[in-house]
Structure 1
Amino acid sequence: MLSSDETYASLNGAWRLMLGKADGLRQFDLSADGFWNSFFAIVVAAPALIVGWVGLANEIGDPNAFAGRFSML
């Protein structure tokens, strides 16, 4: 499991990359251990993913809401 400092550095690096700043790449651990530790990101992302899935599951029963998503395309 990652320490809080490593988690903060990774999230900060990802945020800087999303802002278009290439120096965010320096925040990542690019070693083999860093690669395997990156799979712990699912623990950070899981709560938001679950909330999104539950919200989508509630809309699947409503054909108007589901068709509305495809009308944007």
Structure 2
Amino acid sequence: MSNRFLAERVSTGQYLPGYEDYDRLFKAIGELLHQSCLILTSREQPHTLTRSQIANPQQLVRSLDVGGLSAISDIN
């Protein structure tokens, strides 16, 4: 997700121009009851999902930090 939607070198979790509506989608997923499952991979967590986790005692949103490659140099 980071490469496509989130702005680099700006405040963490801010969207690129034209992708701000994803904030509404993630907010709905985090706050409304549904029977869906969304798996989102990203180097950083959007602010909306973080706020939903804190505000929602039902834990509709879960986050798992998976360790892995830390830099492009690790890939080579």
TM surpasses 0.5: no
Provide TM-score, normalisation by structure 1: 0.27
